[in-house]
Amino acid sequence: MQNIIFDKTDKGREEIITRKYRLASRLRTLLVLVDGKHDSDDLLRKVAAIGLNQASLDELEQQGYIQRQNSAAVVIETTEDFGNSQINSTELIQVLYDFYTESIKQNLGLRGYNLQFIVERAATLQDFHDLRAPFLDTINKVQTEKKALEIRDQLDELLSIMPVHPMRR
Protein backbone atom coordinates (compact mmCIF):
# COMPACT_ATOMS: atom_id res chain seq x y z
CA MET A 1 0.00 0.00 0.00
CA GLN A 2 1.18 3.50 -0.84
CA ASN A 3 2.16 5.65 2.12
CA ILE A 4 0.02 8.76 2.09
CA ILE A 5 0.81 12.01 3.83
CA PHE A 6 -2.20 13.73 5.34
CA ASP A 7 -2.65 17.25 6.63
CA LYS A 8 -5.43 18.78 8.70
CA THR A 9 -8.20 20.64 6.95
CA ASP A 10 -9.65 23.87 8.30
CA LYS A 11 -12.34 21.73 9.95
CA GLY A 12 -9.62 19.61 11.57
CA ARG A 13 -7.79 22.64 12.91
CA GLU A 14 -11.05 24.06 14.21
CA GLU A 15 -11.80 20.79 16.03
CA ILE A 16 -8.38 20.83 17.69
CA ILE A 17 -8.85 24.37 18.93
CA THR A 18 -12.55 24.47 19.81
CA ARG A 19 -13.82 20.87 19.98
CA LYS A 20 -16.80 22.14 17.98
CA TYR A 21 -17.56 18.78 16.35
CA ARG A 22 -17.00 16.67 19.48
CA LEU A 23 -14.71 14.17 17.79
CA ALA A 24 -14.14 10.98 19.81
CA SER A 25 -11.02 11.27 21.97
CA ARG A 26 -9.20 8.42 20.24
CA LEU A 27 -9.76 9.93 16.81
CA ARG A 28 -8.82 13.32 18.22
CA THR A 29 -5.48 11.84 19.30
CA LEU A 30 -4.84 10.74 15.73
CA LEU A 31 -6.00 14.09 14.37
CA VAL A 32 -3.50 15.89 16.59
CA LEU A 33 -0.67 13.79 15.16
CA VAL A 34 -1.54 14.57 11.53
CA ASP A 35 0.98 17.24 10.56
CA GLY A 36 1.51 17.09 6.81
CA LYS A 37 5.00 15.65 7.28
CA HIS A 38 4.60 12.08 8.53
CA ASP A 39 3.16 9.38 6.32
CA SER A 40 0.22 7.17 7.23
CA ASP A 41 2.46 4.28 8.35
CA ASP A 42 4.29 6.54 10.82
CA LEU A 43 1.03 7.85 12.21
CA LEU A 44 -0.50 4.40 12.56
CA ARG A 45 2.59 3.05 14.33
CA LYS A 46 2.26 5.80 16.92
CA VAL A 47 -1.41 5.08 17.65
CA ALA A 48 -1.52 1.30 17.26
CA ALA A 49 -1.26 0.85 21.04
CA ILE A 50 -4.56 2.66 21.54
CA GLY A 51 -6.38 0.59 18.95
CA LEU A 52 -6.41 2.94 15.98
CA ASN A 53 -5.79 1.70 12.44
CA GLN A 54 -6.20 2.59 8.77
CA ALA A 55 -9.97 2.70 9.19
CA SER A 56 -9.47 5.52 11.71
CA LEU A 57 -7.50 7.56 9.17
CA ASP A 58 -10.15 6.82 6.56
CA GLU A 59 -12.86 7.99 8.95
CA LEU A 60 -11.05 11.29 9.63
CA GLU A 61 -10.65 11.80 5.88
CA GLN A 62 -14.30 10.98 5.10
CA GLN A 63 -15.51 13.35 7.81
CA GLY A 64 -13.38 16.16 6.39
CA TYR A 65 -10.88 16.55 9.24
CA ILE A 66 -7.84 15.59 7.15
CA GLN A 67 -6.93 15.57 3.48
CA ARG A 68 -4.28 13.93 1.34
CA GLN A 69 -1.32 16.10 0.55
CA ASN A 70 -0.46 16.91 -3.03
CA SER A 71 2.78 14.97 -3.52
CA ALA A 72 4.43 17.99 -5.17
CA ALA A 73 3.70 20.14 -2.13
CA VAL A 74 5.02 17.71 0.48
CA VAL A 75 8.27 18.64 2.11
CA ILE A 76 9.77 15.84 4.14
CA GLU A 77 11.99 16.91 6.98
CA THR A 78 14.81 14.66 8.05
CA THR A 79 14.74 15.65 11.69
CA GLU A 80 11.91 15.36 14.14
CA ASP A 81 12.71 18.33 16.34
CA PHE A 82 9.26 19.08 17.67
CA GLY A 83 10.60 21.53 20.23
CA ASN A 84 10.44 24.38 17.72
CA SER A 85 6.82 23.71 16.80
CA GLN A 86 4.50 25.47 19.23
CA ILE A 87 1.41 24.09 17.47
CA ASN A 88 2.51 20.48 17.81
CA SER A 89 3.54 20.96 21.44
CA THR A 90 0.27 22.67 22.26
CA GLU A 91 -1.73 19.95 20.56
CA LEU A 92 0.18 17.20 22.35
CA ILE A 93 -0.35 18.94 25.69
CA GLN A 94 -4.08 18.91 24.95
CA VAL A 95 -4.01 15.21 24.05
CA LEU A 96 -2.11 14.37 27.24
CA TYR A 97 -4.51 16.50 29.29
CA ASP A 98 -7.46 14.65 27.72
CA PHE A 99 -5.84 11.26 28.32
CA TYR A 100 -5.07 11.91 31.98
CA THR A 101 -8.46 13.48 32.65
CA GLU A 102 -10.41 10.67 30.99
CA SER A 103 -8.28 7.95 32.60
CA ILE A 104 -8.69 9.49 36.05
CA LYS A 105 -12.43 9.83 35.58
CA GLN A 106 -12.91 6.28 34.29
CA ASN A 107 -10.45 4.44 36.53
CA LEU A 108 -10.05 6.39 39.74
CA GLY A 109 -13.17 8.46 40.31
CA LEU A 110 -12.92 10.52 43.48
CA ARG A 111 -9.66 8.77 44.40
CA GLY A 112 -8.10 10.68 41.54
CA TYR A 113 -9.08 14.12 42.80
CA ASN A 114 -5.53 15.14 43.77
CA LEU A 115 -4.13 13.85 40.48
CA GLN A 116 -6.78 15.75 38.54
CA PHE A 117 -5.78 18.90 40.38
CA ILE A 118 -2.17 18.35 39.23
CA VAL A 119 -3.36 17.71 35.65
CA GLU A 120 -5.28 21.00 35.72
CA ARG A 121 -2.10 22.85 36.70
CA ALA A 122 0.16 21.09 34.16
CA ALA A 123 1.26 23.52 31.48
CA THR A 124 4.25 21.92 29.78
CA LEU A 125 5.19 18.57 28.29
CA GLN A 126 7.63 18.14 31.17
CA ASP A 127 4.75 18.56 33.67
CA PHE A 128 2.91 15.69 31.99
CA HIS A 129 6.03 13.52 31.93
CA ASP A 130 6.55 14.22 35.64
CA LEU A 131 2.96 13.18 36.34
CA ARG A 132 3.51 9.72 34.84
CA ALA A 133 4.94 8.00 37.93
CA PRO A 134 2.38 9.16 40.53
CA PHE A 135 -0.45 8.56 38.06
CA LEU A 136 0.67 4.99 37.32
CA ASP A 137 1.29 4.29 41.03
CA THR A 138 -2.30 5.22 41.77
CA ILE A 139 -3.64 3.23 38.82
CA ASN A 140 -1.66 0.16 39.98
CA LYS A 141 -3.26 0.38 43.42
CA VAL A 142 -6.79 0.57 42.08
CA GLN A 143 -6.92 -1.43 38.85
CA THR A 144 -6.11 -5.00 37.88
CA GLU A 145 -2.61 -5.65 36.64
CA LYS A 146 -3.86 -6.15 33.08
CA LYS A 147 -5.79 -2.86 33.06
CA ALA A 148 -2.89 -0.98 34.68
CA LEU A 149 -0.48 -2.28 32.03
CA GLU A 150 -2.89 -1.29 29.26
CA ILE A 151 -3.16 2.25 30.62
CA ARG A 152 0.62 2.45 31.07
CA ASP A 153 1.20 1.36 27.47
CA GLN A 154 -1.26 3.94 26.15
CA LEU A 155 0.35 6.70 28.20
CA ASP A 156 3.87 5.70 27.19
CA GLU A 157 2.83 5.72 23.54
CA LEU A 158 1.55 9.27 23.89
CA LEU A 159 4.59 10.42 25.84
CA SER A 160 6.95 8.91 23.27
CA ILE A 161 5.48 11.01 20.47
CA MET A 162 7.47 14.02 21.63
CA PRO A 163 10.09 13.00 24.13
CA VAL A 164 10.94 15.59 26.71
CA HIS A 165 14.49 15.86 27.92
CA PRO A 166 14.48 16.22 31.71
CA MET A 167 15.78 19.53 32.90
CA ARG A 168 18.52 19.54 35.50
CA ARG A 169 17.48 21.21 38.72
**According to the model, what pLDDT value does residue 66 have?**
92
* pLDDT tens digits along 30-50: 888 888 888 888 888 888 878
Q: pLDDT digit string (tens) for 121-143? A: 988 888 888 999 899 999 999 99
pLDDT of residue 158: 81
What's the rounded Cα separation, in Å, for the pair 22 and 16?
A: 10
Cα distance between residue 96 and residue 124, in whole Å: 10
Residue 72's pLDDT is what? 41
Task: Specify the pLDDT at position 161.
Answer: 62
Stretches where the chain sits below pLDDT 70 are 1-2, 70-88, 161-169
